[in-house]
């Protein structure tokens, strides 16, 4: 392996709780509970595509832009002030040529990387702000990150926490290591089986 590509939410950042809270509050304000399959459906979508899906699927009267602004308002404070990297992540990335491939937008992940003191260690970014990148049912974001790292896909190792991401990165001929997160506990055995290896946390490497 010549380069490592990380997913962000749930893989190197303890941030999934933010979106769970945003989802609960968003639907509660409309007199609804979070639909059972909602989180799984949008977990690999870009921010924009997730808003389009939510509006169309649940007949939300607000515009896609208004939905995104509402999500932003309730999530940014957590990312800017409270979200932390998972234990031992810093110890690992200090020595690597690394990229970040995430469905998140820069306004969420950049404050965390800057506050945690690791921003300068990342050599490339690919994220959900690029409208040309399809969701993580497809390997677009990983391939773009590898291209920006100037590294062939089969020389990249990807760390991911969701099954769609694992399968997509594998389809791009990349080695994939699954990362445990509380949010993926229900599908952990499936995720482990699909990946080339797995870790419970970064102390293992």
Residues 65-85 have pLDDT tens digits of 999 999 999 999 899 999 999
Instruction: Output the average pLDDT for the chain.
Output: 93
Same domain? 77 vs 148: no
**Per-residue pLDDT tens for 54-65?**
999 999 999 999
Same domain? 183 vs 93: yes
Same domain? 66 vs 91: no
Same domain? 148 vs 128: yes
Local structure of residue 43 (DSSP, 8 states): T
pLDDT surpassing 80 at residue 44: no
Same domain? 118 vs 164: yes
Same domain? 137 vs 88: yes
Same domain? 103 vs 187: yes
Return the number of other C-beta atoms located less than 10 Å from residue 29's C-beta.
9
128 pLDDT band, cuts 50/70/90, is: confident
24 pLDDT band, cuts 50/70/90, is: very high
Angle at 52 between CA 18 and CA 54, to 5 degrees: 55
Same domain? 76 vs 148: no
Three-state SS at 3 = strand
CATH number at residue 127: 3.40.50.1000
Q: Which of 62, 81, 100 is the last residue of a domain?
A: 81
Same domain? 92 vs 76: no
Q: Which of 81, 100, 123 is the last residue of a domain?
A: 81
How far is residue 163's CA from residue 190's CA, in Å, rounded to a whole number? 7
Mean per-residue pLDDT, 89-112: 92
Same domain? 99 vs 61: no
168 pLDDT band, cuts 50/70/90, is: very high
Q: Which of 81, 103, 131 is the last residue of a domain?
A: 81
Q: What is the pTM of this model?
A: 0.82
Which residue do the tokens 């992940």 mark? Answer: 109
The pLDDT assigned to 76 comes to: 93
47 pLDDT band, cuts 50/70/90, is: confident
Which residue do the tokens 């409270």 mark? Answer: 82
Inter-residue contact 56 to 49 (CB < 8 Å): no
Q: How many domains does the chain have?
A: 2
The domain in which residue 138 lies consists of 3-15+84-204
Same domain? 114 vs 54: no
User: CA-CA-CA-CA torsion for 39, 158, 191, 203, nearest 10 degrees?
Assistant: -100
201 pLDDT band, cuts 50/70/90, is: very high
Same domain? 31 vs 122: no
**CA-closest candidate to residue 134, choices 164, 111, 107, 113:** 164
């Amino acid at each position: 392996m010549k380069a490592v590509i990380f997913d962000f939410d749930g893989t190197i950042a303890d941030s999934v709780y933010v979106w769970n809270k945003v989802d609960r509050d968003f639907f509660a304000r409309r007199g609804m509970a979070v639909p059972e399959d909602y989180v799984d459906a949008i977990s690999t979508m870009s921010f924009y595509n997730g808003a389009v899906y939510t509006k169309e699927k649940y007949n939300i009267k607000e515009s896609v832009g208004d939905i995104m602004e509402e999500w932003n308002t309730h999530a940014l404070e957590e990312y800017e002030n409270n979200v932390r990297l998972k234990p031992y992540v810093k110890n690992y990335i200090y020595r690597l040529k690394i990229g970040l491939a995430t469905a998140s937008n820069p306004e969420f992940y950049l404050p965390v990387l800057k506050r945690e003191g690791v921003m300068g260690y990342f050599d490339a970014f690919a994220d959900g702000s690029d409208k040309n990148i399809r969701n993580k049912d497809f390997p677009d974001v990983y391939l773009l990150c590898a291209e920006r790292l100037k590294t062939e896909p089969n020389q990249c190792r990807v760390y991911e926490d969701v099954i769609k991401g694992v399968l997509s990165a594998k389809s791009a001929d990349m080695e994939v290591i699954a990362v445990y997160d509380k949010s993926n506990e229900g599908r952990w055995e499936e995720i482990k089986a699909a990946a080339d290896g797995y870790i419970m946390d970064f102390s293992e490497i």
